Structure 1
Amino acid sequence: MIREGTRAARCTVERLMKKLGIQGIKRGRRCWTTISDDSLYRPADKVNRQFTATRPNQLWVADITFVATWTGLFMLLYH
Structure 2
Amino acid sequence: QYASQAHRDLLARHGLVASMSRKGNCWDNAVMERFFLSLKMERVWQQHYANQAEAMADITHYIVGFYNTHRLHSFLGYQSPTDYEKATA
Normalising by structure 1, report the TM-score. Answer: 0.23
Higher helix share: 2
Return the structure number with greater strand share. Answer: 1
- More contact order relative to length (CA 8 Å, sep ≥ 6): 1
Larger radius of gyration: 1
TM-score by length of 2: 0.22
